[in-house]
Amino acid sequence: MHKVAIVGRPNVGKSSLFNRLVGRREAVVADFPGVTRDAKEGLMMYQNHRIILIDTGGLWSGDEWEQAIREKAEWAMEGAQSVIFLTDPREGLTTADYEVADWLRKLGKPVIVAANKIDSPKHETYLAELWGLGFGDPVALSAEHARGLDDLLDRVMLHLPADTEDVPDIAPIRISFIGRPNVGKSSLLNALTGSERVIVADQPGTTRDSVDVEWDYAGQRFVLVDTAGIRKRPDTSIEEYAIERSKTAIERSDVIWLVVNADEIGDHELKLANLAYDSGKPVIVVVNKWDLVPDEELKRTERELSEKLHHISYAPRVYTSAINEYGIHDMLAEAMKLYEKWQSRVPTSELNRWLGIWTMKQRVPNFHGKPLRMYFMTQVETAPPTFAVFCNRAEFVTRAYEGFLMNRIREDLGMAGVPVRLKWKEKGPYKRGKGGDDDAEDAPAPRKASRAAKS
């Protein structure tokens, strides 16, 4: 697979061009510099070629992130076969542009100079100055208006080798890190992949956008997603947008790692867990910085964690330390196990055998002498496992009885830790509007809530 990197000084439109080329709004875009810090990857297709496009942070920014951003850009350069050097000629070449040009010459990669924000032919007079960068004829384009993109990609294709790669048939497992700022999500990702793939700093809010990292382990492909820390109350509009991107990452993921600190768990973590669980994705609680808990405090801390996390007691728990890599492989093993359960399917005959056992274990709800009758049960969906129970009256089902059935499905059918959904469907002579023994006036008023249960 080919790799192409987009580089340039801050605020020339790199993320806008990245979004335009990959065909979706993957990277955060704002009118002020410094939004992008990590190197962000996205897959695009052009002339039957699969290209990994890499968006990098603004180089020679002159702020505290300058060195870290340059290191991540250099990482992106290692596998890149071509580099798009994006400029904004309408502002004129700056010292930072010349610094970037000198840096690219030392790397020895094929470079295409692209002039962004050239919205019409009359603006092409600005291109003359770009010849002074020493990379030949610049390409005029406008990322905002999708102008000149084919010309740019045709130039890029001149530097790419023949595409002889076989596209793998196995889809990758997408796993996202979520949590409040500064709990160690980026450190865990780096420890897991054995690289310094994303920027790590002591201050919260370092990661500003979701970063996808493709990774192969033991023959299995993964996409690990580092998300921005989710605060209760975002301080800026860019944080608000980053939070929305984190929520999108949850929706697109197969498994969620909820990263928490042992001494910093509250309602915010429960809200994040419910957000992930309501999306139908398996959640694993990753208790990071476990090495900082004194030995004599371990048991007490575990008890406190169980009390604080009682609301999400269904979620498996892994204790880790990104510093010494303790528990790192347990994270991955638990995720793969839950992913397999999440996609599992139970035969209808086995389900109904268990349904008979469950009805003997727990008395079914009874309203005004009218009992709930469950005729049969079948699995209608996977990922998450969703079961339809055909019964006489759906409104006879209590939340407590739903919870009992969900717990039995998890424990007896080997789906512990996996979100389960139940759908109640009326069937038979007691179905509403069909008459029969269950008169309408004997039944309680129908619930306003949906009968599609989530857990």
| Residue 257 φ then ψ, to 5° | -100, 110
Q: What is the DSSP letter of 430?
A: T
428 is in an annotated binding site: no
Is 291 annotated as contributing to ligand binding? yes
119 is in an annotated binding site: yes
Q: Is 448 annotated as belonging to a binding site?
A: no
Please indicate if the annotation marks 114 as binding a ligand: no
Asked whether residue 11 is marked as a ligand-binding residue, the answer is: yes
What are the distances in angstroms from CA 139 to CA 83, 240, 292?
A: 13, 35, 53
Q: Is 59 one of the annotated binding-site residues?
A: yes
Annotated binding-site residue? 28: no
Does the annotation flag 61 for ligand binding? no
Q: Is 14 annotated as a binding residue?
A: yes
Residues sharing a CB contact under 8 Å with residue 128, sequence separation 6 or more, in sequence order: none
The amino acid occupying position 431 is K
376: left (phi over 0), alpha (psi -120 to 50) or beta: beta
Q: Which residues lie below 8 Å from residue 399, measured CB to CB, with a gap of 6+?
A: none
Q: Is 444 known as a binding-site position?
A: no
435 is in an annotated binding site: no
The reply, when asked if residue 8 is annotated as ligand binding, is yes
Q: If DSSP states are collapsed to H, E and C, what string results for 257-275?
A: EEEEECCECCHHHHHHHHH
Report whether 290 belongs to an annotated binding site: yes
Annotated binding-site residue? 57: yes
CB within 8 A of 373, min separation 6: which ones? 364, 391, 392, 428, 430
Q: Is 12 annotated as a binding residue?
A: yes
398 is in an annotated binding site: no
Q: Is 132 annotated as a binding residue?
A: no
Helix axes 95-107, 66-78, angle to 10 degrees: 40
183 is in an annotated binding site: yes
Q: Any known ligand binding at 87?
A: no
Name the helix (H) or strand (E) containing 332.
helix 328-342
Q: Is 179 one of the annotated binding-site residues?
A: yes
- Which residues of 173-282 form beta strands (DSSP E)? 173-178, 211-217, 220-226, 255-261
Judge whether 384 is annotated as a binding position. Answer: no
Tokens representing 166 are 């076989």
Residue linked to tokens 């880790």: 320
For residues 132 and 93, is the Cβ–Cβ distance under 8 A? Answer: yes
- Is 117 annotated in some ligand binding site? yes
Residue 190 is assigned to a ligand binding site? no
Question: Residue 356, SS3?
Answer: helix
The response to whether 110 counts as a known ligand-binding position is no
Which residue positions form the known binding site?
8-15, 55-59, 116-119, 179-186, 226-230, 288-291
Which residue positions form the known binding site for GTP?
8-15, 55-59, 116-119, 179-186, 226-230, 288-291
